Structure 1
Amino acid sequence: MRTLSLLILMLLTACNQGPTVERLSGPTMGSSYSVQYVREPGGPAPIQVQSAVETLLEQVDQHYSTYRSDSTVSRFNQLPGRQCMALPADMLELVGFGQHLAKISDGAFDLTVAPLLELWGFGPRAHHEQVPDPQASAQAQQRIGYRHLREEGQALCKDAPVQLDFNAIAAGLAVDLIAERLGAMGINSFVVQVTGELKAVGRKPDGKRWRVVLEPPGEDRQIISVDGLGVSTSGDYRHYFQQNGRRYSHTFDARLGRPVEHDLASVTVLAASALVADGYSTLLLVLGPERGWRFALAQDLAAVLVTRAEGGFVSRATPAFERAVKGD
């Protein structure tokens, strides 16, 4: 009888166990990823979630990494001009999104900027950062231009020996894919972060939204509450080099063939898709403080632009951003 009572007590305890917050993380894309999710009773264990997440990250790496010679994008980049290559449907969609950003920014955002990144020392095969000579820059510029790309059915073709670089949007894509996979596993509340890009969905066990920390350069951090939004921050304050007293960012304006030279230091964008947030944060950073601000207002983007000013930094948030975080 005592054994039976103990068994019943154990069963009742298991039934009354509420949701818990599980955490997992690991390396990816030269950086790291992390996932926090609310595990309901009977929900998937962390080991299952981690396996699903890392499988997706490996697939993203296999398609989009320019750091491995066997990736899909590297094989496309190795093709000479006037060649086509069949690509997976989701990869063609990502190219389409990049082409859309290029068109609406008059080429400021460009997926074919890879030769410039390599020349200036920011690419996967570069040995050191440097300011290249004008002749080398001119030669690299001949291999850049989103207009050299076109789709033919399920194939992507290039009219010149251009090379694709998805580093500006691949992490956002990875976040969206993981979020979709978690939803398919029955997980309805989570925060996914890949190399700094993230998306938060649902509520924590206490009923509150997930809280995200924004750390703009030179300013106090800002904590916002997010539900159903991707969050992306792009900045030039961490990845740059200096030569002869001048500062050169890893953010490139493909039209000029060189790093941007303006006072916009950081951009944060909120959007329903982490991919969209990732792409627009990069685009605004390329455009600069004034053009970027006007573009964000015209497109009704939820964005914060942080600009260098005498003695510090100045932050401006669009009305759409204020609406998105209202009621935190």
Structure 2
Amino acid sequence: MISAASLIVLRSFILCLALLALCACDHASPQTDLQGSAMGTSFVVSVVDFPAELDADVLRQDILDALGSLDKLASTWRDDSELSALNMALSVDWVAVSAPFCDLLERSLEISRITKGAFDPTVGPLVNLWGFGPAGAITEPPTDGDIVAAQHRVGFDLLEVDCNEQLVRKDVPDLYVDLSGWAKGHAVDLVAGLLESRGIDNYMAEIGGELRIRGHNRNGRKWAIGIEAPSTSERVPHAVVHVTDTSVATSGDYRNYFEHDGQRYSHTIDPRTGRPVTHKLAAVTVVNASAAFADAMATALLVLGPDDGPELARELGLAAYFLVRDASGIQEITTPDFDTLSTQ
């Protein structure tokens, strides 16, 4: 499994609307839904016009096998994963790794560089310290001294990769890498590639709230994806976006948290401060061709907050949607690229 948070609540929840409830269509195409549990969360793959030559049970097992392989590669919850082996190796020497694992690390570090550390795969010690990792929940915030000590083990520039040689090196021996901000999106991309390799052209693949969509839904239209309102008490869509041939990922601060002395501490940790974010940005949705990129960028933009987040998204030309709390409720901020999408 990738993240403890996903066992309790989806960090990035996107409500997938059933279009038959929105539109009365007499000639809908058949849809096959494949469901299961993997990586500490659930998945749903909806295929329109399932190819007659394929067996749905076989395809479902192939999906489970692919996700199981990724889990064994990048889980912090499994002692036998390649990631756990790296974390347990108290060495600053170059270590040989597999090509897929090296690629995961390299691409996550690229997001770190783009976001100047707002996304950081080495944030694990802080996530654990604040009670949101495998070490388990806490009931009160850690001390300033504990935070400073954990910060000495955090910093994406402390991790070096050489994927030409399939080598990785930690600059401090107890560096702890956590790919949970990237892996679910990567899993979606992995499943999408599997579907397309089998000749499936119209599908929606969802894993733990992250989505990849291709072609059309059963009514021959773009897929309608509901973006959840940032509420701790109910799950209702705040907006609906109609998309195809893309991915959608959301990161929010409103479901996984703890309270102490009247203050709420979000699971969204800013790697640069060592503390949960305290700004008014409640959720960020990113639409991008890559679910992994959208997943990581949604996390980074949420960390950056309601001012720096939209600024970076516009600078990078991202389709991004921000929900910000204020005295009157929830305000929306969108980027020009998001405004080109069909919403309601």
- CA deviation after TM superposition for structure 1 residue 129, in Å: 4.4
Residues 319, 143 of structure 1: CA spacing in aligned structure 2 closer, same or farther, 3 A cutoff?
Answer: same
Residue 270 of structure 1 aligns with which residue? 287
Residues 178, 242 of structure 1: CA spacing in aligned structure 2 closer, same or farther, 3 A cutoff?
Answer: same
Q: Secondary structure at the match of 1:288?
A: helix
- CA deviation after TM superposition for structure 1 residue 166, in Å: 0.6
Q: Say which of 151, 158, 176 aligns to 2:170.
A: 158
Q: Say which of 193, 199, 204 aligns to 1:186.
A: 199
Distance (Å, rounded) in 2 between the aligned partners of 1:40 and 1:195: 23
- Does residue 33 of the first structure (1) align with residue 43 of the second (2)? yes
- Does residue 70 of the first structure (1) align with residue 47 of the second (2)? no
Residue 208 of structure 2 aligns with which residue? 195
**Cα pair 1:178 1:192 within 8 Å, conserved:** yes
**Cα pair 2:216 2:222 within 8 Å, conserved:** yes
The 4+ residue runs of structure 1 with deviation greater than 3 A are: none
Cα offsets for 1:196-215 (capped at 9, x unmatched): 00111011343212221111
Distance (Å, rounded) in 1 between the aligned partners of 2:108 and 2:244: 26
Residue 7 of structure 2 aligns with which residue? none
- CA deviation after TM superposition for structure 1 residue 220, in Å: 5.0
Q: Say which of 63, 66, 69 aligns to 1:56.
A: 66
**Cα pair 1:121 1:130 within 8 Å, conserved:** no
Distance (Å, rounded) in 1 between the aligned partners of 2:143 and 2:70: 35
- Aligned pairs for 1:89-168 (under 5 A) are 89-152=99-162, 153-160=165-172, 161-168=174-181
Q: Secondary structure at the match of 1:173?
A: helix
Distance (Å, rounded) in 1 between the aligned partners of 2:194 and 2:332: 35
- The TM-score, its normalising length taken from structure 1, stands at 0.90
Residue 10 of structure 1 aligns with which residue? none
Distance (Å, rounded) in 2 between the aligned partners of 1:64 and 1:127: 22
Residue 9 of structure 1 aligns with which residue? none
**Cα pair 1:19 1:40 within 8 Å, conserved:** no
* 2:33 aligned partner, one-letter code: R
- Structure 1's unaligned 5+ residue stretches are 1-17
Residue 222 of structure 2 aligns with which residue? 209
Residue-pair matches, total = 310
Distance (Å, rounded) in 1 between the aligned partners of 2:295 and 2:39: 15
* 2:313 aligned partner, one-letter code: A
Q: Say which of 293, 314, 320 aligns to 2:331.
A: 314
Cα offsets for 1:7-26 (capped at 9, x unmatched): xxxxxxxxxxx962100111
* 1:319 aligned partner, one-letter code: P
In our comparison, the structure showing a higher alpha carbon Rg is: 1
**Cα pair 2:112 2:119 within 8 Å, conserved:** yes
Cα offsets for 1:130-176 (capped at 9, x unmatched): 31112221211111111111123201111102111011110000000
Residue 277 of structure 2 aligns with which residue? 260
- Does residue 177 of the first structure (1) align with residue 187 of the second (2)? no
- The TM-score, its normalising length taken from structure 2, stands at 0.86
* 2:158 aligned partner, one-letter code: H
- Does residue 225 of the first structure (1) align with residue 238 of the second (2)? no
Q: Secondary structure at the match of 2:201?
A: coil
Q: Say which of 283, 291, 304 aligns to 1:287.
A: 304
* 1:58 aligned partner, one-letter code: G
- Structure 2's unaligned 5+ residue stretches are 1-27
**RMSD over aligned Cα atoms:** 1.7
* 2:103 aligned partner, one-letter code: E
**Cα pair 1:235 1:267 within 8 Å, conserved:** yes
Distance (Å, rounded) in 2 between the aligned partners of 1:127 and 1:215: 25
- CA deviation after TM superposition for structure 1 residue 105, in Å: 1.9
Residues 316, 76 of structure 1: CA spacing in aligned structure 2 closer, same or farther, 3 A cutoff?
Answer: same
Q: Which has the higher contact order (CA 8 A, sep 6+)?
A: 2
- CA deviation after TM superposition for structure 1 residue 322, in Å: 1.4
Q: Say which of 253, 267, 270 aligns to 1:236.
A: 253
**Cα pair 1:35 1:192 within 8 Å, conserved:** yes
Residue 13 of structure 2 aligns with which residue? none
Identity %: 36
**Cα pair 2:32 2:50 within 8 Å, conserved:** no
Q: Secondary structure at the match of 2:314?
A: helix
Q: Secondary structure at the match of 1:198?
A: strand
Residue 7 of structure 1 aligns with which residue? none
